[in-house]
Amino acid sequence: KQISEDANALLPGSDLYFNNYATAEVHEAMLKDTPRNEAYASAIDKCKDFLEGKVVLDVGCGTGFLSMLCAKAGAKTVYAVEASEMAFTAEQIVKDNQMDEVIKVFHSPVETLRIPEQVDVIVSEWMGFYLLHESMLRSVLVARDKFLKPGGLMMPSQARIFAAPVSMNDYRREKIDFWNHVMGFNMTAMKSKAWEADMATPRVESLGAGSLLADPQLVASFDLATVTHEMLVRMDAALSFKVNRDGEFGGVCTYFDTTFNIPPPCRDNEPVVL
C-alpha cells in the first residue's frame, strides 16, 4: 500500500509531480536538450503558414518556450497552461519578451482549465521516459477532447515505441564488476545485491547504436488525433529478434520517436521527426 501511495504521488496530477516542474533544474535540462528544441522549433517554423492567425493551446507550458515559438510563428492567441508554480515565472518571461498581448498564461491543470474558445492547434512536450513513463499524455488527450477543433493539429502528431536487445558491457564493468576488487579486497559478495538493485526498476541510459544486438522492432504506434487513454493502459507485442552482432545480452532497451506532421497550406510539408 505504501509503495502504491508513493508511486501515485509522482503521477501527473499529484502535488509532488507538479512541484517537480516548479524547479529551475528540470527546465534547464529540457532547454539544454538541443535535439528536442530544434525539432519543435523546426516543426513550428514549418507550420508558419498554418499557424498564422490561429489559436494555440500549449499544455504544460513550463517556461513558455513553445508558446513563444508559436507566437513568433504568427499565432493570433496562445493559451499557455501550466499547473506548477512555474506558471508565474512563465508569465514574466512572456512579458520580458513583449509577447503578453498574444500569450495568455494560466496557472491551472488542463483538466479544470476554462478558456473562451476552441483552439486550432495543441502543442505539448509531454513525452516521458520510454514515451509513457510519468508522462502527461493523459492530460494532453483531455485537452484535445475538450478544446481542439475538428481537424485541428496535434504537435507532435504521432508517436512510436521500439524495443531491441542490447549489450550493457560498459555499464556492467562500471557498476557490477567494480565489486570484484575494491582497494585490494574481494567484495564479489556484493555483486548479487548490485544486480538486485539494478533489476528493481527500469534504467534510463544513453546508449549508442553499437549497443544494439539486433534490429529494433516496433512495439506500438499512436496517432495523437485519435488515441485514447484506455488504449494506453495495456500494450501487448509479440516480438522476434534475429541477433546480428556478437555481444553479451544485457537487457531489452525501449525508446521512442515522435513525428510532427506539417499540414497544408505549408509549402515544406516534410514531417519533422524527434
> Which residues, in sequence order, are CB contacts of 129 under 8 Å at separation 6+?
202, 204
For the residues of 167-178, what is the DSSP string, one character each?
E-HHHHHHHTGG
How is residue 22 written as a grid cell?
Answer: 516548479
Backbone dihedral angles phi then psi of residue 33, each to the nearest 5 degrees: -85, 90
* Distance separating alpha carbons of residues 209 and 212, to the nearest angstrom: 6
HSE, CB side, 13 Å, CA atoms: give it for residue 7. Answer: 7
* Distance separating alpha carbons of residues 133 and 127, to the nearest angstrom: 8
- The CA angle 149-69-145, to the nearest 5 degrees, is 20
Rounded-to-10 torsion of CA 263, 269, 271, 272: -100
28 counts as catalytic: no
125 counts as catalytic: yes
* Distance separating alpha carbons of residues 14 and 11, to the nearest angstrom: 6
- Residue in the structure block whose three cell numbers are 519543435: 40
Catalytic: which of 28, 111, 134, 205? 134
Q: Are residues 189 and 217 in contact, defined by beta-carbon separation less than 8 angstroms?
A: no
* Distance separating alpha carbons of residues 87 and 109, to the nearest angstrom: 11
- DSSP letter at 27 equals H
> Which residues, in sequence order, are CB contacts of 95 under 8 Å at separation 6+?
none
- Catalytic residue set: 125, 134
